[in-house]
Structure 1
Amino acid sequence: MDMSIRFPGLNLVLDHVPRSFEIFGFEITIYGVLIAIGMLLGIFFVVLEARRNHEDPDAYLDLAIITLLSGVAGARLLYAAFSWSLYKNDPGQLLNIRSGGLMFYGGLLGGVLGGAVYCRIRKKSFWQMADLACMGLLIGQIIGKWGSFFNRESFGEYADNIFSMQLPLTAVRAGEVTTAMREKLQTVDGGTWILVQPLFFYESLWCLLVLLVLMMLLRKKVFQGEIFLRYLAGYGLGRAVIQWFRTDKILFPGTGVDVSLVISVILFVLCTVVVAVKRVMSRKRAKVRMRRIEKDQQAEKEAEQQRENVAENLETETVQGEKNGSERDTEERGSSSESVTFAAAAGGTEEAGQPDQEQERSSEESGGQPKS
């Protein structure tokens, strides 16, 4: 099998792009390695950011483990639900995830449920933790999507542009080759090739853009959960456009409607509306709180002014009372002084008249005769 991949518009030829490699006889897919690397880098980023924000990094590490396990289970179950014909004769194959068969939105749903249960048990805010955890998820997506490059999957309809990718017809699954691709088959070095859009590359770039935007909005969020909802809306928008061109679609039974496309549109519309409404309500609540604070401050100022007026009146009354008391003391001292003076004067007069009275009494005692 030809293992080369070409990019004609970039004049780039990769002669050997393996799907896997072996270590001690054990086959390891490059897709799985990239998923693991993306996951570890995402967890590392989240833990560092949690530590920088003075949050509990161990809680985020526990959350990552729980959501990883529940996410893998959800991704497998959702895929099996819409592809049951592949497993109904051998349900044991549901556990064989090495053969592929995962849906991202199933993993997202499983991760959210697992994270919500964890936060409920640990009595932590799910929305607060989700705001930071979704950034780690984006990092995992940015790196993990390149696994589709090595697997020769997640490509789009025929296109001839600067980023178009040539794949050997024998290297891709027959069900992913559309009529347009077969009509535009190309022959290169004696082999048959298809020309497709590298949607994995577009999705990786989109996830990088969403990550950068969310990092700028993280410090400006108005309510808990805003960043997570914006992630769902932003990723849903990009995924809806990309999913429209994908050829490996999973359809609702009996219809031609793509499951991932419908989920992407719903997430974009619903989360965009929720964010807009919650931001408006948060602003209104902030204005109400501001008015309440202003009223409280005004009431406090008035109360303080009243206290100052009362204190000033008390001080004035005290000073006036002291002044009046001082005047009364002065008057009493003046009255006392006059009384003392008057008494002293009266006493002097009485003393002056006392000898005459004694003389008269002496005369009377001697018989009333005057002395010769």
Structure 2
Amino acid sequence: MTIQLPFLALSKIALKLGPLEIHWYAILIVTGAALAVWLACKEAPRRKMTVDDVIDFILIAFPVGIVGARTYYVAFEWSYYSQHPSQIIAMWDGGGAIYGSLIAGAIVLFIFCHYRMINPLDLLDITIPGVALAQAFGRWGNFVNQEAYGKAVSNLDWLPHFIQQQMFIDGAYRLPTFLFESTGDFLCFLLIILLRHRLTFLKRGEIFAFYLIWYGTLRFFVEGMRTDSLMLGPARVSQWFSALLVLTGILFIIIRRVKKYN
């Protein structure tokens, strides 16, 4: 006899202090960012950078990245937000695009490196493992918010019950695409951390290029399974952008090798 447990979705709100509501999504993003900063600070001396360089960069890039993620999402969903302008800033209810964050962060990085006279490839190599880890954490915010999921499936018996119940949405189990991407992001982080000081043949920027290839490939396939993709006509925007990341990473490595840069 099978006992069907009730499906009680997790609350988006982790803590209430009077009128102040602290959402799980925000906690997970901040936790991921804090770990990313710590990792970058530990690595900075190897690239002849100071902890202050890392902290100053993150203090600028983190808020700009959040704005970039929301701006990207709102831009591609403008038909809705133009009719609901009060919802534009309501990121705590979900609705952000990691590619918007990456674009905004890249702009900040190159401007910051120019003024600090830092090689941007060094800063990219230092920060990118933390970015992958922060993304792995952030996808669990999507889990709590019941967003970024895939098609309806007959069951999710291969998953723990708490994931099954959270993925029971609109009367059906949903493919947990958040979990696929979070797992892939964490594997990317582990590989970089384990190998970056063991592979002596790596050149500047190639850790970053590896991330572009890995994450672009991962996101391309995960995006194809999602039901909430941002669209540009008949195309999934993130799949096009993912393909561009993979191509950029491959070309970067080829050029660095052919030109014999350090």
Q: 1:165 touches 1:197 (CA, 8 Å); kept in 2?
A: no
- What is the TM-score with the length of structure 1 in the denominator? 0.62
Equivalent AA in structure 2 for residue 268 of structure 1: V
Alignment of 1:103-142 (within 5 A): 103-142=97-136
- 2:220 aligned to 240, 248, 251, which one? 240
- What is the TM-score with the length of structure 2 in the denominator? 0.86
Q: 1:158 touches 1:196 (CA, 8 Å); kept in 2?
A: yes
Residue 69 of structure 2: aligned partner: 75
Equivalent AA in structure 2 for residue 247 of structure 1: T
Q: Quote how far apart the aligned CAs of 1:280 are.
A: 4.0
Equivalent AA in structure 1 for residue 241 of structure 2: I
Distance 2:244 2:6 in 1: 39
Residue 204 of structure 2: aligned partner: 224
Equivalent AA in structure 2 for residue 248 of structure 1: D
Residue 342 of structure 1: aligned partner: none
Distance 1:217 1:248 in 2: 35
Distance 1:216 1:280 in 2: 26
Q: 2:220 touches 2:242 (CA, 8 Å); kept in 1?
A: yes
Alignment of 1:9-20 (within 5 A): 15=8, 17-20=10-13
Q: Name the SS for the 2:16 alignment partner.
A: strand
Q: After alignment, is 14-23 or 60-69 more displaced?
A: 14-23
Q: 1:66 touches 1:115 (CA, 8 Å); kept in 2?
A: no
CA gap of 1:109–1:12, structure 2 versus 1, over 3 A, is farther
- Could you list the runs of 5+ residues in structure 1 that have no partner in the other structure? 1-7, 171-192, 287-372
2:44 counterpart of 1:50: yes
CA gap of 1:147–1:75, structure 2 versus 1, over 3 A, is same
CA gap of 1:14–1:224, structure 2 versus 1, over 3 A, is farther
- 1:152 aligned to 132, 146, 151, which one? 146
Q: Quote how far apart the aligned CAs of 1:146 are.
A: 0.8
Distance 1:135 1:215 in 2: 7
Q: Quote how far apart the aligned CAs of 1:112 are.
A: 0.4
Q: Quote how far apart the aligned CAs of 1:93 are.
A: 4.4
Distance 1:270 1:53 in 2: 24
Alignment of 1:1-372 (within 5 A): 15=8, 17-20=10-13, 21-51=15-45, 55-89=49-83, 91=85, 93-159=87-153, 160=155, 162-163=158-159, 165-166=164-165, 167-170=167-170, 193-219=171-197, 220=199, 222-252=202-232, 255-282=233-260
Q: Share of identical aligned residues, percent?
A: 28
Structure with higher Rg: it is 1
Query: What are the superposed Cα offsets for residues 155-213 of structure 1, whole Å, 9 maximum, x if unpaired?
Result: 1123345248354445xxxxxxxxxxxxxxxxxxxxxx312221111111101111122
CA gap of 1:169–1:210, structure 2 versus 1, over 3 A, is closer
Q: Quote how far apart the aligned CAs of 1:62 are.
A: 0.9
Q: Greater RCO between the two (CA within 8 Å, min separation 6)?
A: 2
Q: 1:34 touches 1:144 (CA, 8 Å); kept in 2?
A: yes
CA gap of 1:235–1:169, structure 2 versus 1, over 3 A, is closer
Equivalent AA in structure 1 for residue 10 of structure 2: V
Distance 2:7 2:85 in 1: 39
Q: Which structure dedicates a bigger proportion of its chain to helix?
A: 1
Distance 1:107 1:231 in 2: 15
Distance 2:71 2:187 in 1: 30
Distance 2:86 2:143 in 1: 29
